[in-house]
Amino acid sequence: MRVVQAYRFALDLTPVQQRAVLAHAGAARVAHNWALARVKAVMDQRAAERSYGVPDDELTPTVGWTLPALRRAWNASKEGAAPWWRECSKEAFNTGLDALARGLKAWADSRSGKRAGRPVGFPRFKSRRRATPSVRFTTGTIRVEPDRKHVVLPRLGRLKLHESARKLARRLDNGTARIMSATVRRDRTRWHVSFTVEVDRAERTPARPGSTVGVDVGIRHLAVLSSGELVLNPRHLDEAQRRLRILGRRLSRRQGPDRRTGQRPSNRWQHAQARLGRAHARVANLRSDGLHQLTTRMAREHGIIVVEDLHVSGMLRNRRLARRIADAGFAELRRQLAYKTEWNGGRLIVADRWYPSSKTCSRCGTVKTKLALSERTYTCTTCGLSLDRDLNAAYNLAALAATCDTAGSGPVAGRGANHKTPLAGQVAVKRQPGTAPAGQTGTVPSQGGTTQQTLTRASER
């Protein structure tokens, strides 16, 4: 199975190498801004001519938005726009032009209706201070040194890695991987190099191919599995709030930049900002590591995983829960499960956004009309089932796999859901005999076994 994946490593750059990388990132920004100014000038000129009643066939000719067209225009004007262009690799300018071409295409497709999702705005000019320094190399010498502690990139030369690249080097030595591009980027106060690699992965099978697990995500518990497992939410941001407040107040007492007067930040302000950035980076790294461990374990163990299609951006509008929802990383958990189940030979089923997993009784299938967020225990008025609401939702998600007849891996929309919640007494999904949990209060049997696990109050959704 051939897949395209990324290998990301931290870099230990010398001051000279940092200036060289920043110069390449600045070249990409200059090319992007030059091409964007050219496109905007032509668009504004044509709009002005139309306002004067000029016929369409006599308007100023349009300019191409594709990468080849932008590249031809840049090559014809780079002597005047950037006389120093020979000091940087051509890939630096190609990075900025490619980013602009992608942004213009996304904006045009969004306006014409070809692109789904939220509207995409028109590309903006990149600021030297606010833009993230980044440069991408697609041609030239890109390799990992035999010592696996250094990489070689065009014009930048030999760069030292902070960690060993043995995982990538082994695949390159065995001929099961091919480097397609390398991107050097400054993320969270550190420089990283990311290799886009075409990998020939071996076919894998989950440890339990016939196992189906429903995953209900939440705040108090990051994930509640239909097997009875409760994965606690580590809440890394909450744990770091005290230190973040101290560092933020320390930063506010320093002399920072002022764009109105052109005041430059002091060295003490820059040092305080770097310390605050490292604290935020640690929180992000801990969150990412926890999600990767959880999703990898589930993808390697279960053959079918069922999750919900949550409207995370809408959930973030709740000002009382927005910070905790963002700290949990619901969207990232689903994104990782999508490709990890495919890599491990499993299958991911995504239930419809309007599927009432929390309101449906996992024993008899009765759907409640309303279920308040404060009701953490689901009690069925028809069959008398009483158990934790999130575990009940996980059972319903697991049962949904039996109603999806689409084979293969990848996200599949769960059927049988609509925008309206069925009235009380209507049946949405019935569990197969022998898989319904026992109607006990406080304890439920683990799915597929007889062990008991005490339930605590599950996550708030």
Pick the catalytic residue from 91, 98, 216, 342.
Answer: 216
Kind plus residue range of the DSSP H or E element containing 152: strand 150-153
- Can you tell me which residue has the tokens 């995504």? 350
Q: Catalytic residue at 216?
A: yes
Which one is catalytic: 91, 98, 388, 390? Answer: 390
Which candidate in 91, 98, 308, 327 is catalytic?
Answer: 308
Q: Is 308 a residue of the active site? A: yes
Q: Which two tokens stand for residue 148?
A: 């696996």
| DSSP-assigned letter for residue 195 | E
Sequence-separated (6 or more) residues with CB below 8 Å from residue 33: 96, 125, 126
3-state secondary structure of 94: helix
Reference 213, options 313, 278, 300, 288; nearest CA is 300
What 3-state DSSP class applies to 454?
strand
- In 3D, which of 391, 389, 397, 410 has the Cα closest to residue 306? 397
User: What's the CA gap between 291 and 236, in Å, rounded?
Assistant: 12
Q: Which residues contact 386 (CB under 8 A, 6 or more apart)?
A: 377, 378, 379, 380, 439, 440, 441
Using CA atoms, how far residue 39 sits from 65, 73, 127, 313, 461, in Å, is: 8, 11, 18, 32, 46
Q: How far apart are CA 197 and CA 179, in angstroms?
A: 4
Q: Any idea which residues carry the catalytic annotation? A: 216, 308, 390
